[in-house]
Structure 1
Amino acid sequence: MSIDVKKEKQVQSVNDYIKKVLRLIEKETVTEEEARWITKETVDGFREHVNPGFLEYRKTVTKDTQFAAVEWSDEGSCFTDVNGKKYIDCLGGFGIYNVGHRNPKVVKAVSDQLKRQALHSQDLLDPLRAILAKILADITPGDLKYAFFTNSGTESVEAALKLAKMYSERTTFISTTRAFHGKSLGSLSGTAKGMFRKPFLPLIPGFRHVPFGDIEMMRKTFETCALVGEDVAAVILEPIQGEGGIILPPENYLKQVRELCDEYGALLIFDEVQTGMGRTGKMFAAELYDVVPDILCLAKAFGGGVMPAGAIVAKEKVFKSWFPNPFMHTTTFGGNPLACAAAIATIDVLLEENLPERAAEVGDYFLHGLRDAAKGHEDKVLEIRGQGLMIGIEFHKDEIGYQVSQGMFDRGILVAGTLINSKTIRIEPSLTISYEEVNTVINTFKEVLEQVTAE
């Protein structure tokens, strides 16, 4: 067979495969035979072309063949796998689905925009970017005014770090232990987890980590940096640490950090990628602690669980560093019309349905219910803590967390227990989750706890 004929047959085979997949995408439901084909293609594709490590990870937190569970559709607080099994989603994409899965208002806004224009030309002025920036200036705390749009949380952190450097030309940053700010090189430099950092060392120079919540160590670090001529450009913090295990700050800690930044002429960056958009009971966690940062980072739920979208919002005195040359930091897809439409609709839903306030109320009910369920299991559960619908359940051992995560998944509830950090599992459902669904999660947690062993 000639090379040209072989190539032609290969192209035809790929084209036939694509057409089969597109026909499946068109369908609202699939047959059992189609579900088996989709599952096989998914598992084979991950093994041969994505990353087989994901399959090994799934096997550690599921039983039997459930590692091959394949998502197919979603709505409200739940998603359904390709075989029709429904799960209450308490992982929520690590905080993506604040307004629910496929919120109709967000989907409609994106669909309406798609009918007119999907992406902008990059040269003319695009209206939704300007409108969304104005909305953010109106709803963010204090005098935060100018916005730059991104596609993800790590991009938001990268933008914040670069803006801070341009503002003062200082190069020292203070982050904290247990911090997670992303995995691109700049944001990874602020992230504290050694497992993620070590393979990529050396990272961006100038980062120092101090214990989260230790204001005296923060103060000493500021003093030391000033004495040796390495003045601090900015402190970057999650107001409530997410990946670190839902760690709440000590009383007045964030205010004291704000005061230190002001004293030493440093900026304060709040990474609200996970805490923002109503998750903690306020639109932004900064409001919980009555602290206004100089730069606020957003992503995850910012796109309403429909579009990848992120942003930083900064004070004018800081952002004006980019006025003379707005091309000093750019991104092709950041602030695209579809993402902006999604974010605008998301903010509308959050405000109109009072979801931040609802997160506070439902979160309080959820927290007390989980604590009641854990009574009598103090040998397994160390602490249950949280704020709004950002809840952490800390166990005495990782192994217990594995068992609980697996047991809940087997019973149709997905939680944020992972291979690398199951000592604390996270509960981050949609802010629209019903009380009935919350009760189901609480009762399932109690049932699973009674069956796992503490050894």
Structure 2
Amino acid sequence: MSDFTEAELAAIRSEAERTYELDRAHVFHSWSAQAQISPMVISRAQGPYVFDGEGTRFLDFSSQLVNTNIGHQHPAVVQAIKDQADLICTINPAHGNAARSEAARLITELTPAGLDHVFFTNGGADANEHAVRMARLHTGRHKVLARYRSYHGGTQTAINITGDPRRFANDRGDSGVVHFFGPFLYRSEFDATTEAEETERALRHLERTIQLEGPQTIAAIVLGSIPGTAGIMIPSPEYMQGVRRLCDEYGLMLIADEVMAGFGRAGKWFAFEHFDIVPDIITFAKGVNSGYVPLGGVIMSDDIYATFAERAYPGGLTYSGHPLACAAAVATITAMHEENMIDNAAKLGAEIVGPRLQEFSEKYPNVGETRGVGMFWALELVRDKETREPLAPYGGSSPEVAEIVGKLKAGGVLPFNNFHRLHVVPPLNISADELNAGLDVFEQVLSEAHYT
């Protein structure tokens, strides 16, 4: 489907041809074997849609990298960036700046009491880098615990905290990071048969890990409140409360990685709110301004802030609290409030996405478990429902998964795919009609999938 005149399409195609030529000649892409990729050119974007180099429209069920939480080209945010550019484009972060101050105020209004200070970064990876640095300096300890099946970013500390195969080539075993198994009943590491068993055994495993590593050597536990690209595995409240208890008992900092799950993605401002806990440190990025201008940050407890009240924090960034990014954050948070986007995400997740994905799981042979909350859902593609054999290997893909993804795109939906999973992660302000239209394409494709 095209929304363009023939003249506009001709211009888009010419532009896309040049874009692709230059891309292949000069651009080095993330996480890719450079000679084996053929990047889709995105020429335009609007609301929940993107348009390729042919002018073809796709419903963006990926929110790009699960960051365009308010959709593309939201007029209030675009205007805020323009207005800020007219005033001040950039400034030394040592100076006060109105956009940064207002963004910090709005962000900390959303957090529990005692989490009132923000260190701004350029994105999620360096937010996690600095969160770990703060925890280490605050406690005087070096080790950090993080779970397998997690992702925390591509910079040095963040990739070592990560618990999926993207870590392997960058891990020399000398980062001070120790991994542990988190709860995931569908693929339990603890031979559990109920959520209660999985929670109890996962907490016992974590406590033994703390004890055997020496709590006096451990600065923090880093957890994605709801792991994102790792699989949108929602822990029980009892598990997260148990982790908080262990941190308190052994004097560890609890770092909640909210980079993907935060700012409404999970149907609340922060995903940890689902579990009735308060972290010591919160990291964020992505949805804070829908990715319109790169921005991330670390929200720290009063105790951690006090550590650096009379002692200089040994870290900084040229673009910390960049005015254009912070102006976008102010406009994004304001729009989320005014347009009730968080409630919309929670409502549509509960009333439309959850029930429809559960129906797919019951009806179609290659759909195993489906799980999620808000606009944050995953489908496990399996070869066999009884054995739960994945349709692609962990850390890789398969012709079958590639075929499913190709058919979704042919149906006009841009999906998010990781290993053997499809994620349903559209913008929070998508309409019910648009959401159902995308899920109709999923249903058509999955109903025709019969891989063994």
Amino acid at match of 1:372: E
Q: 2:243 aligned with 1:257, yes or no? A: yes
Structure 2 CA distance for aligned equivalents of residues 303 and 150 of structure 1: 13
Larger Rg computed on CA atoms:
1
Structure 2 CA distance for aligned equivalents of residues 28 and 325 of structure 1: 61
State whether residues 16 and 43 of structure 2, in contact with CA within 8 Å, keep that contact through their aligned partners in structure 1.
no
Aligned to 2:409: 409
Amino acid at match of 2:210: F
Say if 1:391 and 1:82 are closer, same or farther in 2 by CA, change over 3 A: same
Aligned to 1:342: 328
Deviation at 1:36, TM superposition (A): 3.5
**Percent of aligned positions that are identical:** 28
TM-score by length of 2: 0.87
State whether residues 169 and 233 of structure 1, in contact with CA within 8 Å, keep that contact through their aligned partners in structure 2.
yes
Q: 2:428 aligned with 1:431, yes or no? A: yes
Say if 1:216 and 1:434 are closer, same or farther in 2 by CA, change over 3 A: same
Structure 2 CA distance for aligned equivalents of residues 162 and 82 of structure 1: 43
Amino acid at match of 1:133: A
SS of alignment partner, residue 99 of structure 1: coil
Deviation at 1:48, TM superposition (A): 2.4
Aligned to 1:43: 20
2:124 to 129, 139, 153: 153
Say if 1:254 and 1:28 are closer, same or farther in 2 by CA, change over 3 A: farther
Deviation at 1:46, TM superposition (A): 3.0
State whether residues 12 and 55 of structure 2, in contact with CA within 8 Å, keep that contact through their aligned partners in structure 1.
no
Say if 1:149 and 1:373 are closer, same or farther in 2 by CA, change over 3 A: same
State whether residues 151 and 333 of structure 1, in contact with CA within 8 Å, keep that contact through their aligned partners in structure 2.
yes
Deviation at 1:55, TM superposition (A): 7.2
Q: 2:372 aligned with 1:386, yes or no? A: yes
Aligned to 2:386: none
Structure 2 CA distance for aligned equivalents of residues 273 and 375 of structure 1: 32
**Cα shift readout 1:14-55 (whole Å, capped 9, x = no counterpart):** xxxxxxxxxxxxx99964443343333333333322248477
Aligned to 2:444: 447
Structure 2 CA distance for aligned equivalents of residues 277 and 130 of structure 1: 18
Structure 2 CA distance for aligned equivalents of residues 393 and 264 of structure 1: 36
Gapped regions of structure 1 (runs ≥ 5):
1-26, 59-66
SS of alignment partner, residue 139 of structure 1: coil
Aligned to 2:212: 224
Worse overlay, 132-141 or 335-344? 132-141
Aligned to 2:302: 316
Structure 2 CA distance for aligned equivalents of residues 231 and 29 of structure 1: 66
Aligned to 1:376: 363
Say if 1:431 and 1:56 are closer, same or farther in 2 by CA, change over 3 A: farther
Structure 1 CA distance for aligned equivalents of residues 11 and 35 of structure 2: 24
SS of alignment partner, residue 372 of structure 2: strand
Aligned to 1:15: none
Structure 2 counterparts to residues 56-135 of structure 1, below 5 A: 69-135=40-106
Say if 1:371 and 1:401 are closer, same or farther in 2 by CA, change over 3 A: farther
Amino acid at match of 1:92: S
Amino acid at match of 2:78: V
Aligned to 2:314: 328
Aligned to 1:23: none
Deviation at 1:232, TM superposition (A): 1.4
Aligned to 1:16: none
Structure 1 CA distance for aligned equivalents of residues 5 and 333 of structure 2: 29
TM-score by length of 1: 0.86
Structure 1 CA distance for aligned equivalents of residues 173 and 83 of structure 2: 43
Q: 2:272 aligned with 1:286, yes or no? A: yes
Say if 1:302 and 1:39 are closer, same or farther in 2 by CA, change over 3 A: same
Deviation at 1:149, TM superposition (A): 0.3
Gapped regions of structure 2 (runs ≥ 5):
184-201, 383-390, 393-397
Deviation at 1:107, TM superposition (A): 1.1
Q: 2:276 aligned with 1:295, yes or no? A: no
SS of alignment partner, residue 102 of structure 1: coil
Structure 2 counterparts to residues 19-58 of structure 1, below 5 A: 31-51=8-28, 53=32
Number of equivalent positions: 414
Aligned to 1:18: none
Structure 2 CA distance for aligned equivalents of residues 188 and 441 of structure 1: 33
**Cα shift readout 1:168-208 (whole Å, capped 9, x = no counterpart):** 110011100101001111111110123x2222232652111
Q: CA RMSD in A?
A: 2.2
State whether residues 408 and 415 of structure 2, in contact with CA within 8 Å, keep that contact through their aligned partners in structure 1.
yes
Deviation at 1:412, TM superposition (A): 0.9
Structure 2 CA distance for aligned equivalents of residues 437 and 331 of structure 1: 40
Aligned to 2:230: 244
Structure 1 CA distance for aligned equivalents of residues 34 and 209 of structure 2: 43
Deviation at 1:374, TM superposition (A): 4.3
SS of alignment partner, residue 103 of structure 2: helix
